[in-house]
Amino acid sequence: MKDVVIIGAGIIGCFLAYDLSKYDLKIAVVEKNMDVASGATKANSAIVHSGHDPKDGTLKALLNVRGSRMYEQICKDLNCHYEKIGAYVLACGAEEEDTLLQLAKQAENRNIPFEVHTHQEIVSREQNISDEVTKGLWLPSTAIITPWEVSCVLMDNAIERGTELHLNTEVTSIEKMNHGYRIVTSKGEMMSKVVINCAGVHADEVTAMVNPHPGFTITARRGEYFVLDHLKDPVVSIILFPVPSSKGKGVLLVPTIHHNLLLGPTSDPIDEKENVDSTKEGLAEVREKMHKLIKNVPMNQVVRTFSGNRPSGSTHDFVLEEDDLNPGFLICGAIESPGIASAPAISEYMIEHFVSKRLQLLNKNNLPALVLRQRLLSEMSDTERNDKISKDSRYGKIVCRCEQISEGEIVEAIHRNTPVLTLGAVKRRLRPGMGRCQGGFCEPLVLKILARELKLSLNEIVLEEAGSNVLLEKR
């Protein structure tokens, strides 16, 4: 019997596993994909929003502000990347300026640092701002992270403290029992006193396994993006938002931790929750709308397009609750923007308001030292790199030319606590395949390393999920 089973290993599930693993509990995380952070967590704008935007009185407003203030210390503790680069919300014309001032008032009421700037003041900071922009709301506390990086390190620590992680394991049914729940999965079943549903776009369906009338529904909203290469002369150095609309925050420009530039996303409701295809129409929309905010974008430097689906709920707010009919069945649903920014606060909220009322939370004695993010050779001094290579020559063999990643680093990542089972998982840990050639040179080498370290044949290695085999036959 487990004390807690968490369904879904996105960033919310990983934060819950990390936070709950501090207590004397038996915890399991069940994830239908072959890696953590494989849904909305891996395909988003990677912004820690300041908290100025959500409507007053919502969980989004409460937890965005709290989560935003938690991240810097969490990332420092775990050696994860965090950069407070600031953001502008940009207005074009009098009507949008009125909305901008309303957002400024919300920021003031929530003690979020802000300034309202004129067009001239904005251009003095960012020279490529569009001539259409008339005013901007400057939010210096807005930050960027790498969400899958944070998720992986959180899970590394949860596993170090005894949490079980079951990847490639889909929940097929849940049954309420006298003293908990029976969770049936594609790989067997388990019992648990408490279930926490963090199933992303499928959270409504998982809730329906125990309550045929969940009280909320989730629509997948597809967001499409362009990714630009590392630019010698960056187009923009801070995050740019348009004034938000009913569809969301709009098409943004976001510098990333690794000095790419994201353009997007769109926000289109789709019927197939797992459909993450990019479309000609969606990408054309991004191109059109970005020009409202910025000029001189070198679209000849695009290295990739992608899309991700976010779970948009019918309640227009996060669904964080205990199911009315099923004590101990807890729901983290409809976690759309600002879900990344709110994630640590969502975990804190769920534990304080619900888990603590169902389970006795006793601190573990002698917690192991924190597992930190893997430090890369590029972050080391020459002396440190030379020492690493002298001890293991594989650190001196560069596999990814674009991102300068060595064989030794890939092997090290594969053997960390959180299993690395796919080419995509290696890519998210270390970035081989994210550079200009998009894996054209390094992917065959990574494939061989992964097969060797996992003791599998080349034909068994997949790109992301079961069935996405890279090689179909040996020739």
Q: How far apart are CA 399 and CA 406, in angstroms?
A: 5
Distance CA 415, CA 39 (A): 23
Q: Which of 236, 289, 296 is nearest to 264 (CA)?
A: 289
Q: 426: phi > 0 → left, psi -120 to 50 → alpha, else beta; which?
A: alpha
The angle at the Cα of 245, spanning 331 to 197, to the nearest 5 degrees, equals: 10
CA atoms of 31 and 399, how far apart (whole Å): 30
49 given a catalytic annotation: yes
> Rounded to whole angstroms, how far apart are CA atoms 54 and 351?
23
Of 196, 191, 198, the closest CA to residue 176 belongs to 191
Residue 395, CA distances (Å) to 61, 408, 414, 469 in order: 45, 4, 14, 28
- Of residues 49, 52, 117, 166, which has the active-site annotation? 49
Q: Are strands 261-264 and 218-228 parallel, antiparallel or unpaired?
A: antiparallel
Contacts of residues 435-440 at CB distance under 8 Å and 24 or more positions apart, as own/partner, are: 435/229, 435/303, 435/400, 435/401, 435/402, 435/403, 436/229, 436/230, 436/303, 436/402, 437/401, 437/402, 438/303, 438/304
Q: Where are the alpha helices (DSSP H) in 11-146?
A: 11-20, 59-78, 94-109, 119-125
Length of the chain: 475
CA 350/CA 67 separation, integer angstroms: 13
Q: How far apart are CA 51 and CA 341, in angstroms?
A: 8
Residue 452, SS3 per DSSP: helix
For strands 319-322 and 261-264, give the pairing.
Answer: unpaired
Q: Measured between alpha carbons, how far is 331 from 354 in angstroms, rounded to an integer?
A: 10
Question: Look-up: residue for tokens 């020459």?
Answer: 382
Task: Write out the catalytic residue numbers.
Answer: 49
